[in-house]
Amino acid sequence: MTFPENFIWGAATSAYQIEGAHLTDGKGPSIWDAFCEIPGKVANNENGNIACDHYHLFRQDVKLMKQLGIQAYRFSISWPRIFPNGRKDSLNQAGIDFYNQLIDCLLEHDITPWVTLYHWDLPLALQFEEDGWLGKNISDLFADYAECCFEHFGDRVKHWITINEAWVISILGYGQGVFAPGRISNSEPYLAGHNILLAHGKAVKKYREKFQSNQQGQIGITNNCDWREPKTDKPEDKEAAARALDFFLSWFADPIYKGDYPESMKSRLGDRLPPIDEETRALLLGSSDFFGLNHYTTMFAADATGQDISSDVYGNGGLSEDQEVALSTDPDWSLTSMKWAVVPWGCKNLLQWISKRYDNPPIYITENGCAYDDQIEDGVVDDKERVHFFQSYLKGCHEAIASGVDLRGYFAWSLFDNFEWASGYEKRFGIIHVDFKTQVRTPKASAHFYSETIKSNSLKDI
Ligand code: GAL
């Protein structure tokens, strides 16, 4: 099973999850630094203060990537490391220096940097002063920060991702309160989501107007989506699944590819969903050079019109109730340690659905992976389940490509075991094991499997 020539094989991480050095060399605090201080918000009250200490160990980490044959590395820049108070007047040269060194080191090892500008670590000052993603100035402040990154790194960085997972920021951060900044509301997610889209649009506009033609790079957004399979063939369940995808992915992809929010959201949310006016439409339409997708799992969707589903897995925070969709899984599906079902055909179906709905855009899977309770024994981590996960999902990707989907690359989540947000260090997603006491890195069996796949640009039959 050979992948297309030039298919990009990468691995992904994010700043807060691996860097540590949370207040080192002038970095300002982020909303995640603060959120972790609230007892009970994160498993074992852990935090990203040290994490993988990648800030200090990045050179050896890049070497390890090189040994595995990783071609592209997706990492994020910490906004409060660049602007400690969130604004351009606070520029922190040490932050610029750090990312310069990381980027140079990657290029010396022939690894292509893919840079995410926002992976959830908003400068804390902007939460206080601007109400975070609810504030009317936040999109302009983000565009200032993005411009600073284009200016300093754009001579070498040719792949930019503005925002990681607008859905997670909005729903988990402003709806359910389980991620920073911990707000609980059934209207704020839609305002936050709107401002995130504006931030993306304004950053892309800056890039296109001032940098893109000189720097010859690409810029886009990465959104996440699980697949939603109709629970039965009944038309109402099919509609429920379509509605669930509207509220998950089309919420952010329709404005970019079609110029407006999906009809199902507009009609159900009324004035909780800010309208997209002509100016915003022009800003957003066509504002992504590629379709970035993070994908993890699949659930069944059934119509739940008129039912009380507030205790549903995604209940509270406006999601399931607004959609009137009940979610479930098949008891036969195997589960990762996040309790997410392993359903490779869901990945294929989602890729085909995106391709059809958005007119066959170039797609990059910017995250896909799984957590398991890995054990290190005699210096070896034999993570058979993760190997199987990657094999089966990559097979799904290959089938999607064979059916005409323009999938151009794949980034494993994650390069390292790291700080898994509200789950702390309990959930291990890495292809490289990290001993958080000693900072020793050990590539797992899945890293060797991935390395083989990259080298041969093909998947062994399973
Ligand atoms: C994504 C996120 C990553 C990582 C992963 C696994 O939503 O972008 O940071 O945590 O999920 O949960």
Provide the pLDDT for residue 316.
45
Does the domain formed by 8-456 have CATH 3.20.20.80?
Answer: yes
Q: Which of 188, 321, 367, 420 is catalytic?
A: 367
Contacts of 54 (CB under 8 A, 6+ apart): 13, 18, 19, 20, 61, 416
Please indicate whether residue 413, judged by its CB atom, sits closer than 6 Å to ligand 1: yes
Q: Which of 130, 147, 165, 229 is catalytic?
A: 165
106 Cα distance to chain centroid: 21
Q: Which of 46, 114, 178, 420 should be mutated for ligand 1, with most atoms under 8 A from CB?
A: 420
**Which pair of tokens denotes residue 269?**
């949310």
CA pair distance 425, 419, nearest whole angstrom: 5
Pairing of β 112-118 and β 159-164:
parallel
Task: Please tell me the residue having the least CA distance from ligand 1 atom 10.
Answer: 420
CA pair distance 35, 421, nearest whole angstrom: 10
pLDDT band at 312 (very low <50, low <70, confident <90, very high): low
Task: Please tell me the residue having the least CA distance from ligand 1 atom 6.
Answer: 420
Known catalytic residue at 165: yes
Each residue's pLDDT tens digit, 74-91:
999 999 999 999 999 999
Please indicate whether residue 226, judged by its CB atom, sits closer than 6 Å to ligand 1: no
97 Cα–ligand 1 center, Å: 26
pLDDT band at 462 (very low <50, low <70, confident <90, very high): low
210 Cα–ligand 1 center, Å: 31
Each residue's pLDDT tens digit, 133-151:
999 999 999 999 999 999 9
In sequence order, what are the beta bridge partners of 422?
Answer: none
CB 62 within 8 A of CB 111: yes
Lowest mean pLDDT among 245-249, 318-322, 408-412: 318-322
Q: Which of 46, 336, 367 should be mutated for ligand 1, with most atoms under 8 A from CB?
A: 367
| Ligand 1 atom index nearest CA of 423 | 12
DSSP secondary structure of 404-449: T--EEEEEEE-SB----GGGTTSS---SEEEETTTTEEEE-HHHHH
| Ligand 1 atom index nearest CA of 421 | 10
pTM of the predicted model, to two decimals?
0.98
What stretches of 273-343 adopt beta strand conformation (E)? 291-294, 298-303, 325-328
Q: What is the mean pLDDT of residues 431-450?
A: 98
CA pair distance 46, 55, nearest whole angstrom: 18
Q: What is the mean pLDDT of residues 13-25?
A: 98
